[in-house]
Each structure stands twice: as C-alpha cells, then as structure tokens.
Structure 1
Amino acid sequence: MNEGTISAHLARFLVDSVRHSGTSLGRFAHLPDLGPEVLRDDLTRVSTPSALTLWEQLTLTEPGSAIGALVTGHAPIGTFGLWDYLVTTGGNFIETMKRAVDYLELIGDPAGEKLQTIEDGKHFTIRHATGSWVPDVVEAIGFFSLGVYLTRARAATGRPVVPLRVALSHRPPREHRQLIEFFGTRNIDFDAPFNSITFHDDDVRAPLPKAQPGLEQILMRHADLTLAASKPVLHWHDRFRAILATAIHEDTASLERVAQRLAMSPRTLQRRLGEHGTNWREEIEAVRQRHTMDLLRTTDLPLQSIAARVGYSDIRALRRAVQRWEGQSPHTIRNTLSRLRKTPVPGTNIR
C-alpha cells in the first residue's frame, strides 16, 4: 500500500534540510504533497518522486559533498517518529536494528529501500541499498542511511560507538575529511559492492541502558496500526505522474513497468489515461518538460547532465525538446534569465 511513498516525518526532515540550505521552498509549490497542511499529518505518505526532488536540491546546493551523512547530525531521536523509538528500545542494538528492518516502511519507501543485517559472531553489519536514480542523489541517500544507523546506535547504547568499517559504493567525495570526522574512523572503503556499516559485536550486543521490558511489543502494535492507517496524499493521476517521474529518474520509463508499479495491466493504464484526456506519450513529455525547465531555470548544471537526469540520450535531443516547448534554445533561456537577474528593479536605488 505504501510503495512509492515515504513518511511525513522523513519528508518534514528533508523540507527543513532544504530550507536550512538557503533554498526557497517556493520552487516546490507545484508539488501537491509537500504543503504544510499535508506534512502536519503524521499519517500522510509523501510520494518518493517529491522526496527525490528535495534530495536533488540538497545535492545541487552542496555538490560533491557528503551532505547526506552530515544532515543526520541535525536529526535527534524522534525526528523520524515511531521508527526512531523502535530502533532505540529493546534488549540490545542488534535486536532493535533487526526490528527496524522489519518496519522500514514506517520511514522510507518499501519499494526503493532495502536493509539487511549480517552477524558472524564478532561483527554486526548493516547493509543498505536504494533505487537507481540520479547518481548524486543515490550517493546522498546512501550516506544519509549509514549516518542514521550510526547516530541511532550511539543514541540507543548511550555511548560514542565507533564503527569498525564503513563501506560505500561511491567514489570518495571531496570532503573525505568530513566523513572521517563524522563516522569517527579512517576505515572507510569506497567503490565497494554495497553500502554498509560494521560494528564490533561487544558494542551492539550490550544491554541498552534505557530498556523497558515489554515496551517494544507496545511499539510494534502501534507501528502495525500506524501503517494500516497511513494514507498516500496523491490521487490516482498524480500518483501515476509521481511513479512516472521516478521511472524516468531510474531510466525504466516503460508502459509495462509503470503499469506494474500501479498494479494494473498496460491496457488498463492506457484506458485510465484516456479517461483523463491524455495518453502515455503526452505524460512522458509533460514530466520531462517540467523537470527540464526547472533545472534550466534554477541550476547551473551542464546540458549533458540535465539531459541524463530527464531521460534524453544526448544534448541534441534535449535541445530539440526545449525548442519545441519554448520556441527557443536552452542557451537563450539561460541568458535571458541571467540578464533579468542582473537588471535592477526600478526605484530600488531611490533614496
């Protein structure tokens, strides 16, 4: 039921992180599930594409950085709602983390996020994987996830736990030093097969200092009720567009794949689109147009990067599309915007 969505708690955190980065939230006004009235309701579920738009903005604000891990320093226990308390309540951190894996849906997208715990008697490893979206966004989410597990391990145990090893399936960022300081170790492997964080068994098997017997059972019952009562914000057509936007990010935007995500046949999807006065080709075009123009007008990304992000094979295809939509080239659009930003507003110099 909650596939393709994240919790309101995580969405609020991302919105606050974008706000603190200095970005105006007005540029997200077109996203119907990021309004304050939506985010105030803990039972609402925000579409994953809306969340990815926020992540993308964070990576554009701090390009090439470890922003995903560093923002977790501003996420105390309780930021992610009930999931946080499941992670920090129980016999020891291994037990609570296994429970957190079972209830990952409380915070993230069960279709896009995968968690696994591994024990060998000496070490405890948490392995994480996310979707195949824009590389910068995937990297940020990977850093963020490992940062969350570390901060929750420290909060649960009440000790400054230091991981034995951190493995990241990305290239070293420019701020490698910041990652060393954040994780507290130089044992950080890059270009690894998986994202993972490994703790010494003694650190995570010790009894938790604030454990209350029986409380975890109450929390799990509450978690089951919360998931059953959760409600995605978007209506059918908006949800379709959200899923389509994610598919374009993942380069899997086929009619069959999107229909499968919506739990319907391709023929039924085409019929439903026809009932809304549109079709598959027009919907692909609309999502690409909105994302392309947003990136052109609000970022300095090279055209090659924009083309890759919106699913075009090369810059020429992007240029043809922008010319068709706007009647002018991407270069002209950016030059016009640059001149407008430099033009003083009449009357502003009057004293």
Structure 2
Amino acid sequence: MYCADVSLVRSAGLQRFRQTVEALGGDADLFARQAGLPPGALDTDELLVEDTAIAAVLETAAAALRCPDLGLRVASAQEMSLLGPLAVAIQNSPSVADAIECTSRYMFVHARDLSLSVVPDPDGVAGVTGLRYAFRAWVRPLPQATEMTVLFLHRVVGFLVGGGYGLRSVDLPHRPVAPVARYTEAFGATVRFGRPAAVLRVPTSLMRQPLAGVDATLRGLALAFLSRQSPGPRTGPAARVRAVVSQSLGTGPTELADVARALAVHPRTLQRQLVAEGQGFTEIVDDVRRARARAYLTTTDMPLAQVSRLLGFAEQAVLSRCARRWWGMSPTAVRRRAQR
C-alpha cells in the first residue's frame, strides 16, 4: 500500500521567524538551510513545506542562539493575517464557538494533520472547557513549534474578543525549555507541563460570546474560497492535484510522485484517475504555474529571479521561455503591460 509519511504545512507558520532571529543576531537563512526548508519559505506564506522542517528550524535556531523561548517570541510577533482567508472567516463568525468550528473545519488549508477541537475540561471543573491543539497521533511535537502554535492560538482568541477572556491555565505536553516565569508572562496564566495534550482551559461561557463588527458577506466569500481549497475525497482527482501543486510550487520538484505522496495514492493510480477525468498531470502543473506567474508579475515588484524560484524553476531563463510560450512576450513585458 502506498502511503504518505510526510505532513505538509503552509510556510505562513514561520511568519516573523526571520525578524525574530535577526533581532537576536542570528542568520535565519542558514538555519532554514540546515532544517531543509526550501528557498523563500521564510519570506512567503504560500509554500507547502514539511512540518518536521518547521519544527527543526525552530529547535535549531533556539539552540544556536541560546534562546529557549524562541517559539514564544515568534508567536508574540505574529499577526492573525498569517491565516489568510481563514482569518477573514474567523473574524466574521457570529460567535467564538463558530470561529473555533470554522478553524477546525478549514485547518487543512494550513496544515492537513493539525486539529483544533473543543473538549471537556481536563480537570473536570464545571464551567471550564478545553481548546485542544493536536497533531498526528504517532508524532511527538517538538517544544518550540508547540509553544509557538499554542501561544498564537491564545492571542487569536484574545484578538477576537478584544482582550482578556478568562484563561484559566495552559497545558503543554512537554517539560519547560525556558524559565517557567517566561510562560506565565507570555500567557498571563499558569502553565502546566508534561500534560497529556496541549490545551487552553477557558470559561465555557466564552464559547457563547458574540463577536463584534461581523460582516456576513465577507464571511460567506471567505468560506466559499476555503471550501474550494479542499483536496478531500469528494473532490475530483484533477482538483486535488491542482490544490497540492498550487501549494507546493517553490518547495522543490512538483513531480507526479511528489503530488501522489501528498495525496496518499500510488503515482500510477493517480495518473489513471487523471486520464479518466480527461486531464493530464503536466498540463495541470503548467496551468497552475501560468496563473501564479501572472499574479507575481502583475501584482508584485519582486525580482524575476525570486519569481522563478517561487515557481519552482531552476533558473530565470526557464521563466523567460515559459512566458513567451504562455503569452508571446517576456516576463518584463508582461509586467510593463500590467503597469500601463
């Protein structure tokens, strides 16, 4: 049986990593290379990278910089905008419970094997509920990545309700890697270590709290976009391939075997499914590249060399050849025409 052992997440999870590391005098690019992250992963939100690489770059940098609270520092600098359209849907949810449910349903957009769920209080206290962050059952998350994600979740909840929300305590599954006082400062509550799971213990009443300034139209648009991103089993093979390729450009070769691995099917099986749907794998990759290239060339001023890397091309000359095939003109000409 062909199966996927690698979990992929969006590089948006590393937002503010570069700034945090460089403020500490570190070389963010060096740490990224040591962790096996692709070029550009620290500077764009859209790359699909291995979860182990994100965890590794945090642990590597924390050790090299002798900064045991690096994950907390990165999370403290991150903005809710890193969630992209999901942030729009969350902010415009009718209540906190709706926001959590929305996050849980569309978490796959950022990390397919992460989950956020509402659970009974681990201590069985009446009037208290747990927000549980979990990963694949067979994976033991590393401390820095866990702390970064849980603190970011805490800050998102605070942002939604406009401040403090009565956080009772925080459970983390590992032993403290930084002074305990640092955790208390970051969360503003007691943090307990060596617990069965990562959990924010919150008042049950929080879930019923309505959110202010909700725009139902914006929420509907965001949810419609998110629903189209799902490479789930009810979606046709071509749509699933398109979703994976769209998120994978720039992370390495987007070959049939790589995409099949991400979809947990055998490459030959995926190829047969595409043929049955009247689609070709090479054509899908080309379509995704063309659309992404046009977006980069017409809506940004990033150098052509960087555009080439983000499209997964080995050199800028390949982008030039593709642009002439797609549009009959050079990348520079496409950009100038858009500016005019």
Q: TM-score band (shorter)?
A: 0.5 to 0.7
Secondary structure (helix, strand or coil) at the match of 1:78 reads helix
5+ residue gaps in structure 2? 232-242, 268-340
After superposition, the Cα gap between the structure-2 partners of 1:216 and 1:123, relative to the gap in structure 1 and judged at 3 Å, is farther
Q: 1:177 maps to which residue? A: 181
After superposition, the Cα gap between the structure-2 partners of 1:47 and 1:199, relative to the gap in structure 1 and judged at 3 Å, is same
Task: Specify the code of the residue in structure 2 equivalent to 1:234.
Answer: G
Summarize deviations over 1:141-197 as a string: whole Å, max 9, x none.
2212221111001111112223112111112344211111121123x2221111100
Q: Are 1:47 and 1:239, in contact at CA under 8 Å, matched by a contact in 2?
A: no
Secondary structure (helix, strand or coil) at the match of 2:215 reads coil
- Structure 2 distance, partners of 1:61, 1:189, is 26
After superposition, the Cα gap between the structure-2 partners of 1:24 and 1:139, relative to the gap in structure 1 and judged at 3 Å, is same
Summarize deviations over 1:59-92 as a string: whole Å, max 9, x none.
3145573332332110122133223333322111
- What TM-score, normalized to structure 2? 0.60
Q: 1:336 maps to which residue? A: none
What fraction of aligned residue pairs are identical, expressed as a percent?
14
> After the TM superposition, which residues 170-319 of structure 1 pair with which residues of structure 2 at under 5 Å, given as runs?
170-186=174-190, 188-226=191-229, 229=243, 230-232=246-248, 233-235=251-253, 263-264=265-266
Q: 1:157 maps to which residue? A: 161
After superposition, the Cα gap between the structure-2 partners of 1:239 and 1:164, relative to the gap in structure 1 and judged at 3 Å, is farther
- Structure 1 distance, partners of 2:183, 2:150, is 11
5+ residue gaps in structure 1? 244-258, 266-351
> After the TM superposition, which residues 328-343 of structure 1 pair with which residues of structure 2 at under 5 Å, given as runs?
none
Task: Specify the code of the residue in structure 2 equivalent to 1:114.
Answer: S
Q: 1:300 maps to which residue? A: none
Q: 1:89 maps to which residue? A: 92
Task: Specify the code of the residue in structure 2 equivalent to 1:126.
Answer: L
Deviation at 1:208, TM superposition (A): 0.7
Task: Specify the code of the residue in structure 1 equivalent to 2:119.
Answer: I
CA root-mean-square deviation: 3.6
- Structure 2 distance, partners of 1:92, 1:204, is 7
Q: 1:122 maps to which residue? A: 127
After superposition, the Cα gap between the structure-2 partners of 1:80 and 1:261, relative to the gap in structure 1 and judged at 3 Å, is closer
Question: Please, which of 144, 165, 168 is the counterpart of residue 140 of structure 1?
Answer: 144
After superposition, the Cα gap between the structure-2 partners of 1:43 and 1:73, relative to the gap in structure 1 and judged at 3 Å, is closer
Deviation at 1:47, TM superposition (A): 3.0
